[in-house]
Amino acid sequence: MIKINLTKRIWLAFVSLIVLVVLSITIVYPLSIRGTLTEETYRLIENDVRQLLSGENDYFPFQPGFYQAREQRSTVSYSFRLSEAGVSYIDPRLVPPYEVNNEIVQNALEQKGQHGRYETTIDEQTLFYVITKISDSQFLVTYMWDTYRDEMVNRLWERLLYLLLLASALSLFPAIWLKHYLRQPLAVLENHLEQIANRNWQEPLRWEGDKDFERLSYQFERMRQNLNSYDRAQKTFIQHASHELKTPIMVIKSYSQSVKDGILPKENLEQTMDVITEEANRMERRVIDMLYYTKLDQMKKDQLNVGPFPFGKLAYQIEERFRYQRDDVTISVEGAEVIVEADIEQCEVLLENLVENGLRYAKHRLYIRAEQDERNCYLIVENEGEPIDADLTKLFNPFYKGNKGKFGLGLAIVKQIAELHRGSARVENIDDGVRFTITLPKTIKPKPIEPKRKERRKEAKADKKER
């Protein structure tokens, strides 16, 4: 396919349209106009016949001869009578040549009705004639050359040519206007796209005028804002990730150097190495969380393994897993019979993060509960303790930290998993603690995720094995 710019496309379309119109007229016009003028010629002949028969005209003596009529573009009438002696004419000078006259007489004899239309060719010109039957033996012949028709065709052709030239000249103005009309917004869009290609998406795009270009500019502006937000989020993520990894690395580095220098920061070597191991595990958990979180968007390319399962099947496993992390907190499971429609492995990661977060602040009890209504299923993790003194709307943001919280990605992962199931996550302070509620629709049209389930499970649970 030949690649040409917009201006050339407009002019090519304009020229093609003109050529198409000219070709259409060249082909269709001669056929239609000649047929129309031929009909008009017969109409003129028949009109003269009616006037002649009605007595309005009596111009037999004043008519030109057969060949002279061709130059004067007029009708000529003559009559002939058939008898046993042959054919007799009133004015022989009006009679066509012998071959043509024989054809006329033969057509008259074969004619059924009172009037008949005929045509013949003489010296590459057409002769139109009408035979009128006056009696069984007398006929009136009125003829006319094609001179009148051809002159009218040529005259109309000449006028049509002028009109085409004028229309082509006038059509240049809308073509030029269309070129500028399309080029201006496209040039603005091209400039902004060039800026985005250079990672400069700070300048907004606003176009007022044509509705189509307004919609295009609106979609472009949405893209620019999303890119800008993504860029800020990426930079923030890198900053927080660097901060999260910096502290354990510094601890490991300082303790390792102390051991190398023969200085034990703790009472003995074992305790010192325990600190290094704990910080290494902490750093490992952060890396696993970051890898899992960054993979969530890529997981939308494949399908979730959604299926029904009883809530208790998952909840009791998590309760057993976290039962001995805090002896002073009792974990209770409610709504074990509720059927949940979701990806069970994703829900396991979701509940683990919520329970781990709740145990960090619970005083005496923590509840893992499932509820349902006609449309949704609700997974609830509720703990007794102090309310959250922070902006609850930002709690699910990556690395967001409340007044007494910790930096992390656990709640951000919870939100991502809920949204993958077309659901939502929310948190609220209640009278005696904090409640996290995950809403999952019963009829799920899941977003696609990555099918590497064993790898995801291993990454999501690696930090749990260390606890």
User: Would you state the torsion angle of the CA atoms of residues 207, 209, 214, 218, taken in this order, to the nearest 10 degrees?
Assistant: 30
Burial 178-203 (b: 16+ CB within 10 A, else e): ebeebeebeebbeebeeebeeeebee
Helices 6-54/147-197 angle, 10° precision: 160
Distance between CA atoms of 414 and 354, rounded to whole angstroms? 8
User: What pLDDT digit, counting tens, does each position of 387-443 carry?
Assistant: 887 778 778 877 766 555 555 678 888 888 898 888 999 999 988 889 999 999 986
CATH classification (class only), 7-152:
alpha beta
Average pLDDT on 142-171 reads 78
The segment with the largest mean pLDDT, out of 70-74, 160-164, 170-174, 274-278, is: 274-278
Please tell me which residue, 209 or 360, carries the higher pLDDT value: 360
> In the structure, what pLDDT confidence band is assigned to residue 224 with cuts at 50, 70 and 90?
confident
Question: What 3 state SS string does 3-43 have?
Answer: CCCHHHHHHHHHHHHHHHHHHHHHHHHHHHHHHHHHHHHHH
Residues of the chain with CATH 3.30.565.10: 304-447
Give pLDDT, residue 210: 67
Give pLDDT, residue 339: 92
Residues of the chain with CATH 1.10.287: 211-292
Give pLDDT, residue 3: 59
pLDDT greater than 70 at residue 300? no
pLDDT greater than 80 at residue 326? yes
For domain 211-292, the question of CATH label 1.10.287 is answered with yes
Among the listed ranges 224-238, 310-324, 384-398, which one has the minimum average pLDDT value? 224-238
Q: 176: which strand partners?
A: none
> Which two structure tokens, joined as six digits, stand for 250?
């510094």
Give pLDDT, residue 167: 76
Residues of the chain with CATH 3.30.450: 7-152
How many helices (H) and strands (E) in the chain? 10, 12
Are the C-beta atoms of residues 384 and 433 closer than 8 Å to each other? Answer: yes
Give pLDDT, residue 137: 82
Give pLDDT, residue 201: 67
Distance between CA atoms of 419 and 350, rounded to whole angstroms? 12
Are the C-beta atoms of residues 372 and 338 closer than 8 Å to each other? Answer: yes
Question: How many percent of the chain have pLDDT more than 70?
Answer: 78
Other Cβ atoms within 10 Å of 130 Cβ, number: 20
Helix H or strand E segment including 89:
strand 86-89
Average pLDDT on 184-200 reads 75
Give pLDDT, residue 336: 92
Are the C-beta atoms of residues 45 and 142 closer than 8 Å to each other? Answer: yes
pLDDT greater than 70 at residue 366? yes
Among the listed ranges 59-68, 166-175, 390-399, which one has the minimum average pLDDT value? 59-68
pLDDT greater than 70 at residue 445? no
Among the listed ranges 162-166, 172-176, 319-323, which one has the minimum average pLDDT value? 172-176
Give pLDDT, residue 450: 46
List Cα–Cα distances, 111 to 130, 139, 233, in angstroms.
Answer: 11, 11, 97
> In the structure, what pLDDT confidence band is assigned to residue 466 with cuts at 50, 70 and 90?
very low
pLDDT greater than 80 at residue 87? no
Average pLDDT on 239-251 reads 73
Distance between CA atoms of 417 and 412, rounded to whole angstroms? 9
pLDDT greater than 80 at residue 187? no
Closest listed residue to residue 457, CA positions, set 353, 355, 346? 346
CATH dotted code for 304-447: 3.30.565.10
